[in-house]
Structure 1
Amino acid sequence: MKKANASFMLSHPAHLIAQGFGSGLSPIMPGTFGTLFGWLSYVVLTLRWPQFFSPLNWLVIAAAGFVVGIWACQRTGHDLGAPDHGSMVWDEIIAFWLVLAFVTPSTLRAQFAAFIVFRFFDMVKPPPIAYFDRHFKGGFGVMWDDIVAAFYTLLALAFWRIM
């Protein structure tokens, strides 16, 4: 197994993407740092260019990012010798962009709640997330379990909202 470091990340575009532009290289909790990167990039892009980064456009970006992520995570996992290496955080980024596209009102408080709930589901992996994590391999498997965690997050937030 190769070491995930800046040199490895910069050796191929797939590595750069899969490792969340460096956010996945954190020695502690790389998934959380990847999610934080996703949150920060969402806020910065949405505030800077709201005409291009509407919630609908974020859905398109997330869909395209999912497809790119399958390739990037497949390639990076292969090159690292670990199909779901902890430094690969593109799955968290895309899944959290998807969550944030649906968070209304899009306040800092609501986004923070979404962050906490998403990280909970991503780390705990309740069924069927754990099933997908164990049985779906390669780039698709890496990406898919986080999309399910995003769905659980949105479901929990919707339930919370109606209570």
Structure 2
Amino acid sequence: MSKRQSTENFKLSDPIHFLALGFGSGLSPKAPGTFGTLAAIPVFLLMSGLSLEVYGAVVAIMSLFGIYICGKAATDAGVHDHGAIVWDEIVGYLITMLMLPVTWQTVVVGFILFRIFDIFKPWPISFIDKHCHGGFGIMLDDIIAGFMALGCMHLIF
């Protein structure tokens, strides 16, 4: 089944769907993952003033909560990892930006690197994407993509 299936089973009035759909950004008919990552930028900017410990704790909680909300939204849609589910992209981008200065350059390069890892799925991301299912699988491949992009970001910046 294609990830670009109907979104009729999603209800933005449902808080779980609202979050899983990246505040509605995942409903974009083209490139919902890219729009979900764009939705992560203001979240990152709001969180950028937090201490490393608090930032890390918030991202960890968002990751754990994401397992539930992504799994529930996928079940409600009847499609594993429906393209409109972009909470995982938000968390992946927040990981990408961990311990980096807030400049337009880091925001843009982090966005590009995360999207490259998320779209092309080099190993081990591709392995996780194919072999892990449910909310855990939806979240894990983007978490790994975020850490791979984070490594590149720290080499660059």
TM-score (norm 2): 0.90
Equivalent residues, number? 154
Is residue 7–residue 77 contact of structure 2 (8 Å, CA) maintained in 1?
yes
Contact map agreement 2:21 2:85 (CA 8 A) in 1:
yes
Which among 80, 87, 90 is matched to residue 87 of structure 2? 90
1:156 aligns with 2:152: yes
CA–CA distance in structure 1, aligned partners of residues 13 and 134 of structure 2: 20
Write the mapping of 1:95-106 to structure 2, written as runs, cut at 5 A.
95-103=92-100, 105-106=101-102
Aligned to 2:34: 32
| Structure-1 residue corresponding to 2:114 | 118
Residue correspondence of structure 1 range 74-89 to structure 2 within 5 A: 74-89=71-86
TM superposition shift of 1:61:
1.0
Amino acid at match of 2:93: F
Which ranges of structure 1 fall in alignment gaps of 5 or more residues? none
1:14 CA displacement = 1.6
Partner-residue secondary structure (3-state), 1:35:
helix
Structure 1 position 4 matched with structure 2 position 7? yes
Structure (1 or 2) with the greater helix fraction = 1
CA–CA distance in structure 1, aligned partners of residues 38 and 153 of structure 2: 19
State the shift of 1:46 in Å: 4.0
Q: Please identify the structure whose Cα radius of gyration is greater.
A: 1
Counterpart CA distance in 2 for 1:16 and 1:46 is: 20
Aligned mates of 1:83, 1:100 — CA distance in 2: 27
Using the alignment, how far apart are the partners of 1:113 and 1:144 within structure 2?
A: 22
User: Does the CA-based 8 Å contact 1:24-1:33 persist in structure 2?
Assistant: yes
Counterpart CA distance in 1 for 2:44 and 2:106 is 14
Percent identity among equivalent residues? 41
Q: Distance in 2 between matches of 1:72 and 1:46?
A: 21
TM-score (norm 1): 0.86
Q: Is the 8 A contact 2:40 2:90 kept in 1?
A: yes
1:118-140 CA deviation, whole Å, 9 max, x = no partner? 11000000001000000000000
| Residue 146 in structure 1 maps to residue 148 in structure 2 | no
1:37 is aligned with what amino acid?
Answer: A
Please tell me whether the aligned partners of residues 66 and 87 of structure 2 are also in contact (alpha carbons under 8 angstroms): yes
- Give CA-to-partner distance per residue, 1:62-115, whole Å, 9 cap, x none: 100111111101111011010100000000001111222322x22111121111
Q: Could you say what the CA RMSD is over the residues aligned between the two structures, in angstroms?
A: 1.9
> In the aligned structure 1, how far is the partner of 2:99 from the partner of 2:128?
23
- Counterparts of 1:126-137 in structure 2, within 5 Å, are 126-137=122-133
SS at match of 2:123: coil
